[in-house]
Amino acid sequence: MQFLTPCPNAVKLVSFRYLHPPSTSSSSSSASSSRFKMSSDPLPSLPENRIVVGCGGVGLDFLAAVASYPKPDDKIRSTSLRVQGGGNAGNALTCAARLGLNPRIISKIADDPQGKGIREEFEADGVDTSFLVVSKDGNSPFTYVIVDNQMKTRTCIHTPGDPPMIPDDLSESTIFSALDGARILYLDGRLPDTAIIVAQEAARKNIPILIDTERQRERIDEFLKLASYAVCSAKFPQVWTEAPSVPSALVSMLLRLPNLRFAIVTLGEDGCIMLERSVNESPELEEIDVDSLLEQLKQRKDDRVAVPTCISSLEARLRAEGIGTVSGRLYIGTAEKIPPSELVDTTGAGDAFIGAVLYALCANMPPEKMLPFAAQVAAAGCRALGARTSLPHRTDPRLASFL
């Protein structure tokens, strides 16, 4: 029984977007941009229902790039500085707005200069701030971000907003209005006492929920039980399930969370792994060890290809030793190979990935198309200082073959 199948859409993407055969050598910025064809074809229509609601963290980022990370008691100069909006939910919804969705943000800021900047930036990008709570006193959330040019890392020092958001900040009618007509609810795990109320109401209205499981947070188990989709950091699935490997942890998540349709683990430059539950389980499906299947998929990767691609298994009964079996498909999504000269800052790359997944869900993209699309959007955001500076718009030529 052959459990591997190439993703046809991903193959088309590669052949469409290359102007010349793929090369393993690094290229300059101008050479990189020439890899993408400029298309004169009109963009397809936007998704019919493109209202997404996000509840979670927003803030202001003070980003300083430095030649190398300072040692204790060092006094150094920045090589560049940028101040812009941040926060997981804020970044993901900004990305979604630039791709053409109509996001609504539920969060809290203060009536201070930082809060004013956060709100104005949202409105400039098309994010609905009608449900943004503004406190007359206190401070808006903000983060100092040190970007190390030498090691390509970023260090974040966060100051939470004060006073914190509480359930009484949102009336029942406000929650109803925020969720009215929504295609999907996105939660980043922050503001848990407020977010759980919004999530419970979304579940009652049969609105699908996507949860960003970056790390263990307060009430995370409650959020996961309500979630239809989960996008996880590299370590979270094994920490949460105590499974011995990422694939077996994904099997465990789908077994423990019957509402979960898929779970994605993002792995930075190593791409992502996704497990999708079968819609209609067939008793005739072959059974295979999920760890062995992942190794088979990895052997199908072509490291010469610089643009994001996808490899999937056939539908099967996926077995995790000592855990159980779930019917579904396993996917590997590769990341774009960004030349070192173009990689500036990875701040917010995971948020950009989620913003693109939100768009893909609204557009009913199959996973074979969704994973390379999300990886391409995330890679675009790594080419300038800050989480939002180089987030692509819908008209970006790098996205033409996906849209």
Q: How confident is the model at residue 131 (pLDDT cuts 50, 70, 90)?
A: very high
Q: Say what the pLDDT of residue 27 is.
A: 37
In this structure, are strands 262-266 and 287-289 parallel, antiparallel, or unpaired?
unpaired
- Identify the pLDDT of residue 44: 73
Q: What percent of the chain has pLDDT over 90?
A: 84
Tokens standing for residue 391: 């987030």
Tens-digit pLDDT profile for residues 14-35: 322 322 323 333 333 334 444 4
Round to whole Å and give the CA distance between 252 and 325.
Answer: 9
Rounded to whole angstroms, how far apart are CA atoms 295 and 314?
A: 14
Q: What is the CATH number of domain 51-58+88-140+163-399?
A: 3.40.1190.20
Question: pLDDT tens digits for 220-245?
Answer: 999 999 999 999 999 999 999 999 99
41 — pLDDT class (breaks 50, 70, 90): low
* Cross-strand pairs, 286: none
Report whether 210 contacts 184 (CB < 8 A).
yes
Q: How far apart are CA 403 and CA 394, in angstroms?
A: 8
Query: Per-residue pLDDT tens for 335-392?
Result: 999 999 999 999 999 999 999 999 999 999 999 999 999 999 999 999 999 999 999 9
Task: Write the DSSP string, 366-389.
Answer: -HHHHHHHHHHHHHHTTSSSSSST
**Matching residue, tokens 């707005």:** 97
Confidence check: pLDDT of 259 > 90:
yes
How many whole angstroms separate alpha carbon 307 and alpha carbon 208? 30
pLDDT of the residue at 288: 97
The mean predicted confidence, pLDDT, of the chain is: 90
Q: Give the model's pLDDT for residue 17.
A: 30
Give the start-end residues of each E strand in 284-383: 287-289, 310-313, 316-320, 324-333
Name the pTM for this structure.
0.88
pLDDT of residue 280: 82
Q: For residue 326, is pLDDT > 70? A: yes
Within 182-336, residue ranges assigned H as helices are 192-204, 220-226, 236-241, 246-256, 290-299
Closest by CA to 326, choosing from 360, 375, 289, 377, is 289
Residue 40: per-residue pLDDT: 53
Domain map of the chain by residue range?
A: 51-58+88-140+163-399
Q: What is the CA radius of gyration of the chain?
A: 21
